[in-house]
């Protein structure tokens, strides 16, 4: 499939990309971040998270298909590249992270194949993506910036994702699901953690046991990070249905 990176070729869109520090502790703990880790951030925008990972001591690089993102990058290590066509050798990263980017990728299965290819066996992959009641609900401001048309929000968020759907996409690419959760930050969002290969902990084990088995040093989820009960109910509803691979 041809890769259309034109849609994101926008200086205005790159310049609007801001840092949201609320992700950082969760990313560090779920990825079991260690100085020296080789990390790829996919769809990194101007590289705000990549920068914090580098400041921590990780050997982090970011890629984004918008050339203006690299031109306006806040750190070195950001380059212009499409997630569906990663220019890195096989098994060259310990960890992959992507925050609010996978819902933008038309060939999402191609992107997951690529992320699996560049990740070492047993490596972790963490995805943060919007929990949308209707596809594109949270993409209206971006549709206005990119297209001057709010009705193109479903072209911006061309993927409507929730944990069961993401498992159905990531599984065939070679990822095993470890954990997913629902969070309320600036907008409702899901977080899903996978490992490359078939070594994921059994899904009937308690959450902390599962997370520690792939991140032994992680701290237990703090009270401030716990999900409210209404959100937990919604999450349970959204994670239950197992979709077939053709969905
Ligand atoms: C909502 S922004 C998120 C940026 C950053 N991760 C953050 O959290 O601030 C989505 C980013 O994904 C990038 N993107 C969209 N499609 C992409 C693709 N196929 N490959 C790589 N990056 C892509 C866009 O250019 C944009 O910078």
Q: What is the pLDDT of residue 136?
A: 96
Neighbours of 50 (CB within 10 A): 27
70 lines ligand 1 (CB under 6 A): no
Domains and CATH numbers, the chain: 11-239 (3.40.50.150)
C-alpha 53 to ligand 1 mean position (Å)? 17
d(CA 86, CA 116): 11
C-alpha 23 to ligand 1 mean position (Å)? 16
Percent of the chain with pLDDT over 70: 79
41 lines ligand 1 (CB under 6 A): no
Beta strands, E only, 82-155: 93-99, 119-130
209 pLDDT band, cuts 50/70/90, is: confident
Q: Structure tokens of 129?
A: 């993506």
105 lines ligand 1 (CB under 6 A): yes
CA 55, chain centre distance (Å):
20
185 pLDDT band, cuts 50/70/90, is: confident
Q: Is the dihedral of CA 110, 111, 117, 120 positive or negative?
A: negative
On average, the pLDDT of the chain sits at 86
Q: Of the residues 2, 8, 13, 129, which should be mutated to test ligand 1's pocket, given the most ligand atoms within 8 Å of the CB?
A: 8
Q: What's the pTM?
A: 0.86
C-alpha 101 to ligand 1 mean position (Å)? 4
CA 65, chain centre distance (Å):
15
| Burial of 24 from C-beta contacts in 10 A (0-12 / 13-18 / 19+) | middle
Q: Structure tokens of 94?
A: 């310990």
Q: Of the residues 50, 65, 74, 129, which should be mutated to test ligand 1's pocket, given the most ligand atoms within 8 Å of the CB?
A: 65
The sheet carrying 175-184 orders its strands as 78-80, 59-64, 38-42, 93-99, 119-130, 188-196, 175-184
Report the atom number in ligand 1 closest to the C-alpha of 83: 20
């Amino acid at each position: 499939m041809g890769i259309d990176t034109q849609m994101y070729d926008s200086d205005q869109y790159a310049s609007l990309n801001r840092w949201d520090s609320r992700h950082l502790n969760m990313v560090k703990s779920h990825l079991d971040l260690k100085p020296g880790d080789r990390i790829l951030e996919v769809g990194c925008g101007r590289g705000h998270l990549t920068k914090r990972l580098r400041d921590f001591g990780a050997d982090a690089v970011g890629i984004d298909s918008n050339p203006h993102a690299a031109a306006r990058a806040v750190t070195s290590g950001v380059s212009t590249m499409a997630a569906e066509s990663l220019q890195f050798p096989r098994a060259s990263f310990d960890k992959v992270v992507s925050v609010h980017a996978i819902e933008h990728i038309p060939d999402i299965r191609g992107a997951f194949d690529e992320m699996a290819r560049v990740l070492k066996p047993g490596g972790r992959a963490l995805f943060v993506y919007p929990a949308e009641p209707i596809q594109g609900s949270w993409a209206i401001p971006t549709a206005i910036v990119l297209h001057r048309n709010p009705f193109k929000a479903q072209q911006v968020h061309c993927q409507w994702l929730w944990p069961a759907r993401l498992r159905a996409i990531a599984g065939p690419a070679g990822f095993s699901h470890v954990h997913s959760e629902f969070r309320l930050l600036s907008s409702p969002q899901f977080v899903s953690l996978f490992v490359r290969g078939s070594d994921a902990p059994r899904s009937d084990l308690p959450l902390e046991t599962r997370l520690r088995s792939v991140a032994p040093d992680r701290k237990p989820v703090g009270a401030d990070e716990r999900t409210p009960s209404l959100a937990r109910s919604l999450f349970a509803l959204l994670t239950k249905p197992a979709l077939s691979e053709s969905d």
